[in-house]
Structure 1
Amino acid sequence: MTGTPVLLTTTQRTSTTALLTGAAVRRGYRTAELTGPGSVTRLAGQPVHWYGGPIAGRRVAAGLGLALLEPHDDWLTRLPEEFTGRRIELTTLSEARAARRPQFVKPPSDKSFPPAVFSDGSRLPRAAGPLGPDTPVLVCEPVTFAVEYRLFVLDGEPVTGSRYARYGRLDTAPLPGDPHEAQVRDFAARLLAAVAATLPSAVVVDVGLLQDPDTGREQWAVVEANMPWFAHAYAADPEAVLDVVLRSAGPRARLAPADRRFTGCGAPAAPG
């Protein structure tokens, strides 16, 4: 696999897409948009990296020799409660629909429907198209995050980060200089020291400050883990974000052995 490396994106121009393509061009990368099957034909055999959605990513991974890293669906459910602050269950859309109590429900990683608190299971999206009854979902009791942060992690170390929400509303700011920066970094260090081996070498980890509205008790906790190649940068440093994206979605031939078990949505991993 030779030639100038390429950052391939969808035609949907988001602020993160613009930041990453700009950073890639400054490094001497070519950039391209996925406009159809012809894009794959033209780029086949070249060192391609991907930034875009999982549906398109799965469609082009085999033809472009891509390895797309993603956390395992049940990663959150296997964390000790000291890191989650709540009980989280991996179940199916059909089982979640049977619940008759308020619950927070989200897809593990693919954003196939917006995560939200549903007053009961009947309010969940109907099984249709890609949302079959066996679609995996994460379910937990409703909780309140006073503030939330996104960390872009490479080899077990956060390389950049951003605040992205307060009380569920978008509110972005760079992590450096944020009032909670030291607490975020301390919690992330403890978390990653304990669980880095359970994550891909390039990953996004969202953390936040859980707040009990009745008692006022606060606890730092993991919100979720995400694929960098389908994550908003918010106010994080785009150059550092690009480092994580390139590792998380690039040529399978360059995949580190330890990352092979995290290539669930790409082409099958090579044996061994």
Structure 2
Amino acid sequence: MVIELPRTLVFSPRANDTSQVLAVAAYRRGLLTEHLTGWRVPEGFTIGGPAHLYAGPLFADAVATDLHVGLLEPPDDWLTRLPHDAVHRTITMTTMSEAWQLRTPAFLKPPNDKSFPARLYRDGTQLPGPDAVDPDTPVLASDPVTFTLEFRLYVHDGEITTGAQYALDGDLDIEPLAGHPDESRILGFATEVLRTAADTLPSAVVVDIGLIATPAGATTPAVIEANAAWASGHYAADPDRVLDAVLRAAGPTTEVSTRDQPFLRSPVWRIDDAP
């Protein structure tokens, strides 16, 4: 008789609201949880059954290989592939060395990590220098726009399963999506975008949608970005549906489907020089 050991959801040492919510949801589902205490998987560390992971990108890079976890993330250039009526701004993929040369305002962000702050920069001289960021670091550059409301949507197998508002006029403002005055508008727009774009994303992912202020004083929905579910804050989204996405997006490498293989993250940082 083969006894199947319970799965374990592994967390980084630094707890946050989402890790605490996920730990409770995992417990209710019969999963084990484990908070690592350092930036290394301890020698001889065993968790029994297959591992899943919820952590920031740097920590995930440090431990995912030793945990045999495959990390799914959207392609760096995903936003640049969307039609203009999905984003309502010009977005290009560049590098940090090219971004340093910018002399006009632009919203700049690293596609899938936290190598520098994502925000509006007056020009490239405001960016961290080569002592802090590698010149070849990918950078998404977009026209400045003003988002009046911002929402996080969890997408699983092409379907939106839960979501939440997380910002109002650029400031943190958390509200459930369910029952929100703009719920149908946001879901309708996002569903239409995913109708043609779901196949260009991992099967479990986070997509952020916002309302852009127009010169006429109205608003129009637009895609803000896509992020890895295993590193995203849940805000007021349903914990069980968030857990579903995290388990799929960061689970055993042996269970990554052929469909998801192209979306596996290659570690950009290793543990050799970890603190």
Letter in 1 for 2:35: E
Counterpart of 2:90 (choices 87, 90, 98) is: 87
2:137 corresponds to 1:116: no
CA offset digits 1:2-22 (Å, max 9, x no partner): 521000001111011100011
In structure 2, do the counterparts of structure 1 residues 266 and 123 end up closer, same or farther at CA, with 3 Å as the change threshold? Answer: closer
SS in 1 for 2:112: coil
Alpha-carbon distance, 1:264 to partner: 2.1
Q: Percent identity?
A: 46
Cα deviation, residue 128, structure 1 = 2.8
1:242 is matched with which residue?
Answer: 243
- 1:146-165 matches, within 5 Å, as 146-165=148-167
Residues 90 and 139 in structure 1, CA contact (< 8 A), matched pair in contact too: yes
Q: CA deviation at 1:38?
A: 4.3
Contact 2:6 2:48 in 1 (8 A): no
Give the equivalent residue in structure 2 for 1:265.
Answer: 266
| Residue ranges of structure 2 left out of the alignment (5+ in a row) | 269-275
Listed one character per residue, the Cα deviations across residues 156-211 of structure 1 (whole Å, up to 9, x for unaligned) are 00110000011111111000110100001100110110110000000000001111
Give TM-score scaled by structure 1 length.
0.93
1:29 corresponds to which of 7, 16, 31: 31
Partner of residue 107 from structure 1, selected from 106, 110, 113: 110
Q: CA RMSD in A?
A: 1.7
Give deviations 1:57-102, integer Å, cap 9, x for gaps.
Answer: 1222222211100000000001111101011011011111101111
Distance 1:105 1:206 in 2: 16
User: Under a length normalisation based on structure 2, what TM-score does the superposition of the two structures give?
Assistant: 0.92
For structure 1, the 5+ residue unaligned runs are 268-272
Please give the secondary structure, in 2, of the residue aligned with 1:257: coil
8 A Cα contact 1:2 1:47, kept in partner: no
d(CA) in 2 for partners of 1:266, 1:38: 16
The offset of 1:111, in angstroms, is 2.0
In the other structure, the counterpart of 1:174 is 176
Shift of 1:46: 3.5
The residue identity in structure 1 corresponding to 2:231 is: F
**Equivalent residue pairs, number:** 265
